[in-house]
């Protein structure tokens, strides 16, 4: 019985790893696509990274119902949108960049959750030292 439970946990970790690998690859491709789209528009790599990071933090704040952090990260995103607008980036393109950053951020948050679950599962696996 105990052996069967260990096999089930091993299979679950393997499935999680496969899901992690797929999500990681999708995330990498989406980020490349985002940079290829945004850079010619005049959006700097640091602005892209900051937007993605703020969207990640916003996603986490929403999950935790942390209104102060939600407002902070929404303000940070609005500040970068204003910078882009002042740099003559078209509003439609700003919205597209933000949507792509938000999608990427959600993927990365999910990826971090998977990795955290895998880490916790590894901590729970008993070692058989005979």
Q: Domain ranges for the chain, please list them.
A: 17-123
pLDDT over 60 at 130, yes or no: no
Residue 18 has what pLDDT? 80
Closest Cα to residue 27, out of 106, 85, 82, 87? 106
pTM for the whole structure: 0.79
Confidence band for 17, pLDDT divided at 50, 70 and 90: low
For residue 16, name the pLDDT band (cuts at 50, 70, 90): low
Question: Quick one: DSSP state of residue 127?
Answer: P
Q: Does the pLDDT at position 124 exceed 70?
A: yes
Helical ranges in the chain per DSSP H: 2-38, 45-63, 67-86, 91-124
Query: For residue 52, what are the CA distances in angstroms to 1, 14, 15, 85, 95?
Result: 46, 29, 27, 18, 13
**Cβ distance 76 to 54 under 8 Å?**
yes
What are the tens digits of pLDDT across the range 67-120? 999 999 999 999 999 999 999 999 999 999 999 999 999 999 999 998 888 888
């Amino acid at each position: 019985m105990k052996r069967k439970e260990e096999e089930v946990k091993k299979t679950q970790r393997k499935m999680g790893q496969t899901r992690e690998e797929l999500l990681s690859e999708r995330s990498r491709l989406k980020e490349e696509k985002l940079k290829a789209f945004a850079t010619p528009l005049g959006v700097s790599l640091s602005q892209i990274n900051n937007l993605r990071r703020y969207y990640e933090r916003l996603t986490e704040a929403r999950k935790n119902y942390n209104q102060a952090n939600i407002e902070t990260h929404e303000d940070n995103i609005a500040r970068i949108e204003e910078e882009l607008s002042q740099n003559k980036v078209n509003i439609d393109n700003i919205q597209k960049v933000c949507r792509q950053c938000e999608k990427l951020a959600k993927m990365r948050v999910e990826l971090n959750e998977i990795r955290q679950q895998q880490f916790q599962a590894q901590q729970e696996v008993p070692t058989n030292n005979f």
